[in-house]
Structure 1
Amino acid sequence: MNSSAETVENLDEALQDISEKLLDLQQSVTQQQQTNKNQAVFNSFLKARLPFDFSTIYKGKIYFISKTVADFEIAYAASSCELYGGYLVEIDDEEELKFVSDFVSQTGKDVRYLTGLNDKTMEGYFEFYHSKKPMPSFLSLWNKCEPNSMVRVEVCTEIVGKLNDVTCGLPGKYVCQSQ
């Protein structure tokens, strides 16, 4: 009979211990939910005040687009990207172009989205502003009949599905990336 009483007592102690752990766990979950809620409020606050719209992460990179339309000056745009830890977008392959193109389409279709790809140094030789790397010639990132470099005026590029060469100084938003 004594062993039955001991067993019941041991079970009561184990149940009490489990109940305390469950209560601690419930409190931790409640605290984490509050932390998540606070983080979401902070993120919304921050996002509303940053001058960029941000993408999801793609292959370790994040892309951001200026929120305001301005005359595109490549050096100013590059400085603005750098201020926020990035640089003007550099497209490495067709998959990345599709991702960035889809992102700019979600942001709006009524404006130009300008990149750092340009042929300011030498007509027909397109290189990225930040890295000075040439765009790989094997990639077919251009829209049909592009680049057409009308009378050496179109030295900057925009994303419209694929790439177009355009005149620098046109009003638009610029696309940055960060790793």
Structure 2
Amino acid sequence: MASLLFSLFTLLVVASVVAGTSGCVLETIGNNVITSMNTSKRILDVVQRLDVKIDRLEKKVDAIDMRTRLIATLGAIDVSKYEVSDLYKDRIYLASKKVARFNIQQDNAACVGQGGYLLEIDDENERRFTWAFAQKIGNAPHFALGGNDIDREGRFVYYHSKKPVPSQVTWLPGRPNNAGGNEDCMAFWMSRGGLNDIVCSDNVKYLCEIPLRS
């Protein structure tokens, strides 16, 4: 807008000179244009300040919405069966309290009953967070996730979403190795410090992922 007014001012100056308009009239026109430019700048400043305030307000509303969702989700979790993690981005995680024989179908259904699904690690940051959570809970040789290669050996996918386990997710060195020919499920190996493939019926605790946004 300022550039448009400046161009208009320039045209008026040229027109005035060509027409022989008096200096007084030219000065008046110039003052009016400058006043308009200053007014436009003030309006622009106000709009920019409003944009900042609106952005802050939207963030506050989003935070309130997230807190409301978190409270509702926590209220629905069966804490007699699960330990609950801290908030990570827009989700929380659960760890089953008892070591039991893993059944990927039944345990995923149990996670669904809590509002989520067996853990699906998307990247290294999430892997580190969920590993630290499993370490904190402890008291199990493995913590099972949703990853598995039951349908196709060597191609690990997540049970719930059917998405491939991302290549950037780091396994323990030499894993998965399908030792014994029947290690088809993915788990944190607590004594070794990372991801391993295990027999799908091993005795484990399992991890659920609970998204707070759909």
TM (norm. structure 1) is: 0.70
What whole-Å deviation, never above 9, does each CA across 1:65-105 have from its counterpart, x for those lacking one?
Answer: 11111100101100100111110000000110000000000
* d(CA) in 2 for partners of 1:128, 1:114: 12
What whole-Å deviation, never above 9, does each CA across 1:31-75 have from its counterpart, x for those lacking one?
Answer: xxxxxxxxxxxx8x9988531000011011100011111100101
The aligned counterpart of 1:148 is: 177
Q: Which has the higher strand share?
A: 1
Deviation at residue 150 of structure 1 after TM alignment:
1.9
Residue 153 (structure 2) pairs with residue 118 (structure 1):
no
Return the letter of the residue paired with 1:66.
S
Shift in CA distance, 46/116, structure 1 to aligned 2, threshold 3 Å: closer
What whole-Å deviation, never above 9, does each CA across 1:127-159 have from its counterpart, x for those lacking one?
Answer: 00000000122x141001101012430000111
**Structure 1 residue ranges without an equivalent (≥5):** 1-42
Map 1:20-99 onto structure 2 (within 5 A).
49-99=79-129
The aligned counterpart of 1:158 is: 187
SS where residue 101 of structure 1 aligns?
Answer: helix
* d(CA) in 2 for partners of 1:121, 1:46: 33
Residue in structure 1 matching 2:164, options 105, 129, 134: 134
Return the letter of the residue paired with 1:97.
R
* d(CA) in 2 for partners of 1:98, 1:78: 22
Residue 199 (structure 2) pairs with residue 170 (structure 1):
no
Larger RCO: 1 or 2 (CA < 8 Å, sep 6+): 1
8 A Cα contact 1:123 1:152, kept in partner? no
Task: Give the structure with higher Rg (CA).
Answer: 2
What whole-Å deviation, never above 9, does each CA across 1:105-141 have from its counterpart, x for those lacking one?
Answer: 000154310011000010000000000000122x141
The aligned counterpart of 1:4 is: none
Q: Which has the higher helix share?
A: 2
8 A Cα contact 2:76 2:114, kept in partner? no
